[in-house]
Amino acid sequence: MALPAAPHSHARLVVVQPLKRKRCAGCRRGPLSLLMLEDGAPRCLDCADLGHLVFLPRGDTALTRRAREESTLSAVVVRFNRRKSRYERQGVLVEEAALDRAETRCLADAEARRRRRARDARRRAAEDERFAAAFAGEILRLFPGCAAERARAIAAHASVRGSGRVGRSAGGRALTEGAVIAAVVAGVRHVDTPYDQLLMSGVPRYEARRRIAPTVESVLRGWREAGEDAG
């Protein structure tokens, strides 16, 4: 049975992965894992003068592009998909030295990306540290009776990058009074009251908050009034 007509490709050599066992029309070797169609007849890669090329499977777009750029001679490898009635690209054939050079270029890029990620991580860490310090300073301004260590802990928790907590909201980033107070209330709720235990025992959230509200207000009032007494 004849092979389906190979896809037309401008300025590209096309090599086929056959679905059935085929022998070379020239040297009669076979079965062939890869072949090239010449005037409808299958030729092995050696007879087609492509035997020195190596196969690079599809999947890494950057490596494929660079390997073809580096290779004087290359070919597209395709396989016929019976269900879709069309040829589909499987990879490329390129010179081995070209593939080596392309891999070296990609590795250099990967190292550059790693270094850039490390620089970005250091920059973000410095930004987060400055933001948490500013957040803690604002807590101490509003609640001067709060211990500095406690203020830093509340600020660090509220401002974790990507957490979605109040410190990362628009108001939190702007250090608005409402956002800062909300972060402090949350910190007091979880540390200074039995709120978490109430939730674990099955008490609904709104009811649990109602029960611990007097304790939260007492702690906040104490932190506020401590500054007034000092003044």
Do 195 and 219 touch, CB atoms closer than 8 A? no
User: What pLDDT, on a 0 to 100 scale, did the predictor assign at position 227?
Assistant: 59
Do 225 and 145 touch, CB atoms closer than 8 A? yes
Mean pLDDT of the chain: 88
User: What pLDDT, on a 0 to 100 scale, did the predictor assign at position 25?
Assistant: 92
Q: What is the mean pLDDT of residues 187-208?
A: 94
The alpha helices in 192-204, defined as continuous H runs, are 195-200
Q: What is the mean pLDDT of residues 13-23?
A: 92
Residue 51 structure tokens: 């035997």
User: What pLDDT, on a 0 to 100 scale, did the predictor assign at position 2?
Assistant: 47
User: What pLDDT, on a 0 to 100 scale, did the predictor assign at position 228?
Assistant: 59
Contacts of 121 (CB under 8 A, 6+ apart): none
User: What pLDDT, on a 0 to 100 scale, did the predictor assign at position 1?
Assistant: 40
User: What pLDDT, on a 0 to 100 scale, did the predictor assign at position 160?
Assistant: 79
Q: Which amino acid is at 65?
A: R
User: What pLDDT, on a 0 to 100 scale, did the predictor assign at position 229?
Assistant: 56
Q: Of 126, 107, 127, 103, which Cα lies nearest the Cα of 115? A: 107
Q: In what order do the strands lie in the sheet with 53-57?
A: 13-17, 75-81, 86-95, 53-57
Do 209 and 195 touch, CB atoms closer than 8 A? yes
pTM: 0.54
User: Could you report how far apart the first and last alpha carbons of the chain are, in Å?
Assistant: 98
Classify residue 165 by its DSSP letter.
Answer: -
